[in-house]
Structures are given as C-alpha cells and as structure tokens.
C-alpha cells in the first residue's frame, strides 16, 4: 500500500517552445536553447511511456503542459487517446490560452474537462509586458480563449496568476474579484527564481499570506470546502461562486503532500520541481530497445525514493540554481 501522498500524478511537458516569452519563465536574453526536434519524444514514444510504463506503475492523473501545449501538433489526438484509457482518472491542461478560442471545443470533444489558463494581468498593456511581447495586443485573444473555454463547459476553469511585486501585485484584488460572480478559480502562485535571475533579483516575491491578508481586509476570506488534491491552499471570498487557491512553494513547504512527477518533452522524468537530482532519462533506453519491464522497474524505484527526495528538499528548504527553465520543466 502507498503512503498518504500517493504519487499518481504526472505533469507532461509536451513541448519546450512557446508563443509567449513570459519574463518570469524564460531567460531575458535570447540564450535559451530549445530541445532539438530529434531529441523530443515522438507521439508514439510518449504514448508508449504513458501506457506501458506510467499507468502500470500507478499513475492515473495527467496534466499536459509545456512550453505551450497548444503548439504541440497532435494535442487534440493525444487528449483523445489519454482520455480513452480506462485507468485515466483525471486529465487536465495548463495553457497560456492564446490559441484556445479556436481549439477549446475540439479539446472538450476529445475528452479534456479541466483547464488552467495563465492570466497574470487584466491590463492589456501590463499583460503584453509580462509575456515579453510589448505592443502585440495579445490580452484580448487570451481573454476570448477563457470565455470560449467557459462557454464550452470546462469545469473547473482555473486562472493561474504568478504574482510579481511592482508588476502585477496591485491587481490581486481585481483578479480575486473575478471569482465573486463567476465559478472561476484563481490560483495565485508565488514567483520562483527559475530561469529568471534578473527579474527575480530586481522584483523579489510576495508570500501568499500577504495576499490573503489584502483580500481578507477587502471582503473577508474563509477556507473553502472545495479542496483540491494539489499543492494549493484553497480559500473563498464569502458567498463567492469561485475559489482562490494559493500555491506557496517559496513561503511554505508542501513536499510532504507532493503527489507528482514531471516528464520533460525530451523524456526525462523528474521527481521534484525544486531539486534536479535523481532525474532519469527514459527516452534513450526506449530508443535502444530496452525491455519495458526494466523501465517500469526504474520508475518504480524512483517512486519509492520520492518520499526521501521530498524529505531532503523539505529539510534543505533551499531553492538552488537550475539548468532548466520553467518553460522546459512545465511549471
């Protein structure tokens, strides 16, 4: 029997490329190296890993992320296949929403029901600055994507907000207010120093507790009955239709309830977001024809090791230097 925090949730980064270049996610300078095409897992390799390795060792929840997952050429087909596996208990996606208006219905029809859309600002100009495309007027298209996803029936529909002091923290109340009349769920994420040393050094980060206080002062705040199974602490403005989640990986340690692993677009399995040790390469053995039972064994060993990896991370409490950016890890 597995421990309380059963590790059954895989975040799959489909692609490391993105049509945005968010300042908190990708390096400021043009020195980001994309994974070469031949290094990326093919559609078939990814499905083999899911079906023959991850599902048999107990993974039942999957999130498609990136880079930008909607740039992945076969994303609708992939959703359809993963949703059709009887073992799939949950399938979700995290997207920047830019291509969503045109794809939401197809994704829903393919079996996707849960979606997180990143929306860091309600101000189109600030939004363009954050996503690294000043003057490109992209906010409206993302907003249309959110509205379309809502109309199509995605539920829960969550909006992810990375809060950066002096950039968008003055919008926390406006963003929280979206949940009062709509059954939308905002996830405020503490800004992490991964791949963005300059911005992080200049701006710093704000603890979730401070954001909660601002919201409490304005409307009051209560713990929500709707609890996620993830790292968010979920609250609600009294009588609001939606909820407010706080992901506080900088100020709090939730390693003991971490139920996830991450698969990169080039086939590396990573047991911890904040810790680069113990990653395993699944693509090379897959390509060299290793017996799949051997891969299952390797992943099972990593699953068994994870509580210890979490414990070490919890003990050290440090955030180190990372060789990969968030766009490569998948958030």
Both tokens assigned to 212: 């909660």
For position 167 contacting ligand SF4 by CB under 6 A, the verdict is no
Query: Could you identify the residue written with the tokens 């359809």?
Result: 80
Region of 55-63, 73-81, 190-198, 218-226 interacting with ligand SAM (CB under 6 A): 190-198
In the complex, the smallest distance separating the C-beta of residue 197 from ligand SAM, rounded to whole angstroms, is: 11
Decide if 74 contacts 43 (C-beta within 8 A): yes
Both tokens assigned to 219: 């409307």
For position 258 contacting ligand SAM by CB under 6 A, the verdict is no
For position 328 contacting ligand SF4 by CB under 6 A, the verdict is no
Interaction residues for ligand SAM, span 56-75 (CB under 6 A): 65-66, 68
One character per residue 11-40, x = contact with ligand SAM (rule: CB under 6 A): -------x-----xx---------------
For position 68 contacting ligand SF4 by CB under 6 A, the verdict is yes
For position 162 contacting ligand SAM by CB under 6 A, the verdict is yes
For position 264 contacting ligand SAM by CB under 6 A, the verdict is no
For position 169 contacting ligand SAM by CB under 6 A, the verdict is no
Single out the residue of 5, 94, 264, 310 in contact with ligand SAM (rule: CB under 6 A). Answer: 94
The 3-state secondary structure of the chain reads CCCCCCCCEEEEECCCCCCCCCCCCCCCCCCCCCCCHHHCCCHHHHHHHHHHHHCCCCCCEEEEECCCHHHCCCHHHHHHHHHHCCCCCEEEEEECCCCHHHHHHHHHHHCCCEEEEECCCCCHHHHHHHCCCCCCCCHHHHHHHHHHHHHHCCCCEEEEEEECCCCCHHHHHHHHHHHHHCCEEEEEEECCCCCCHHHHHHHCCCCHHHHHHHHHHHHCCEECCCCCCCCCEEEECCCCCCEEEEECCCCCCCHHHCCEEEECCCCEEECECCECCCCEECHHHHHCCCCHHHHHHHHHHHHHHHHHHHHHHHHHCCCCCCCCCHHHHCC
Choose among ligand SAM, ligand SF4, none what residue 196 binds, the Cβ cut-off being 5 to 8 Å by kind. ligand SAM
Based on CB atoms, which residue is closest to ligand SF4, 26 or 159? 26
For position 50 contacting ligand SAM by CB under 6 A, the verdict is no
One character per residue 17-56, x = contact with ligand SF4 (rule: CB under 6 A): -x-xxx--xx------------------------------
In the complex, the smallest distance separating the C-beta of residue 16 from ligand SAM, rounded to whole angstroms, is: 9
In the complex, the smallest distance separating the C-beta of residue 56 from ligand SF4, rounded to whole angstroms, is: 30
Binding region for ligand SF4 (CB under 6 A): 18, 20-22, 25-26, 66-68, 96, 118, 326-327
Binding region for ligand SAM (CB under 6 A): 18, 24-25, 65-66, 68, 94-96, 118, 160, 162, 189, 191-192, 194, 196, 326-327, 330-331
């Amino acid at each position: 029997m597995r421990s309380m925090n059963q590790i059954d949730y895989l975040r799959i980064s489909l692609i490391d490329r993105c049509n945005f270049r968010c300042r908190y996610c990708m390096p400021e300078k043009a020195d980001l190296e994309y994974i070469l095409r031949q290094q990326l897992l093919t559609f078939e390799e990814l499905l083999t890993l899911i079906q023959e390795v991850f599902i048999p060792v107990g993974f039942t929840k999957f999130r498609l992320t990136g880079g930008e997952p909607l740039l992945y050429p076969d994303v609708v087909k992939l959703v359809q296949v993963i949703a059709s596996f009887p073992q799939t208990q949950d399938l979700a996606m995290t997207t920047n929403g830019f291509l969503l208006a045109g794809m939401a219905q197809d994704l829903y029809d393919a079996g996707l029901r849960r979606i997180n859309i990143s929306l860091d600002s309600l101000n189109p100009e600030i939004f363009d600055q954050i996503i690294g495309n000043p003057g490109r007027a992209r906010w409206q298209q993302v907003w249309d994507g959110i509205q379309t996803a809502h109309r199509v029936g995605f539920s829960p529909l969550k909006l992810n907000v990375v809060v950066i002091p002096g950039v968008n923290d003055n919008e926390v109340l406006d963003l929280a207010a979206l949940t009062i009349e709509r059954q939308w769920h905002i996830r405020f994420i503490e800004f992490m120093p991964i791949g963005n040393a300059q911005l992080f050094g200049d701006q710093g980060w704000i603890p979730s507790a401070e954001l909660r206080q601002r919201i409490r002062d304005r409307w009051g705040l209560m713990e929500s009955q709707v609890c996620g199974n993830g790292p968010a602490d979920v609250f609600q403005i009294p009588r609001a239709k939606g909820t407010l989640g706080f992901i506080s990986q900088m100020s709090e340690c939730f390693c003991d309830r971490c139920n996830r692993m991450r698969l990169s677009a080039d086939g590396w399995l990573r047991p911890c977001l904040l810790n680069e040790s113990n990653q395993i390469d699944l693509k090379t053995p897959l390509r060299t024809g290793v017996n799949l039972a051997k891969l299952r064994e390797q992943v099972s060993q990593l699953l068994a090791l994870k509580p210890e990896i979490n414990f070490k991370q919890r003990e050290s409490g440090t955030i180190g230097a990372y060789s990969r950016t968030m766009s490569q890890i998948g958030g």
